[in-house]
Amino acid sequence: MKTSTIPVSAPKWYIVDAEGQVLGRIAAKIAHMLRGKHKPSFSPHQICGDEIIVINAAKLSFEARKLSQKEYISHTGYIGHLKSEKLKDTLIKYPERVIERAVKGMLPKNRLRDPMLKRLHVFADSEHPHAPQKPVSLTLS
């Protein structure tokens, strides 16, 4: 049985403004676009997604309770080396990591995840160096 592989087209560039958006909803839409599921030529074994620029990552909208209760937990593998950091602290120090971590958790856990994440560009404020790529504004409804 012969199969054919559709050649992947050049990725389009999209820009997303995260100001006032809810983290889970914006991360789900970004993961969908990075994966390429919005295209008719989607193929799960290829990277056919687009490049996504996220601006104003520091201005995400959270409930007050979530800011104080949500924790990011990591373990180094050594006894007693369980590290945790509150969402509020992470949002102050590294607001880009909040979106990157949420999107990473929504992508498939395989060898394509890291190349897909390289197509995600997150910035804390509204300035970004990707103006020559002429990104198209993406509205999230």
Contacts with 61 (C-beta within 8 Å, 6 or more apart), sequence order: 20, 21, 22
Residue ranges and CATH numbers for the domains of the chain are 13-62+94-137 (3.90.1180.10)
| CA dist 43 → 13, 48, 119, 129 (Å) | 19, 7, 17, 30
Encode pLDDT of 84-130 as tens digits.
999 999 999 999 999 999 999 999 999 999 999 999 999 999 999 99
Please tell me the distance from the alpha carbon of residue 50 to that of residue 71, in angstroms, as a whole number.
Answer: 30
pLDDT tens profile 33-63:
999 999 988 889 999 999 999 999 999 999 9
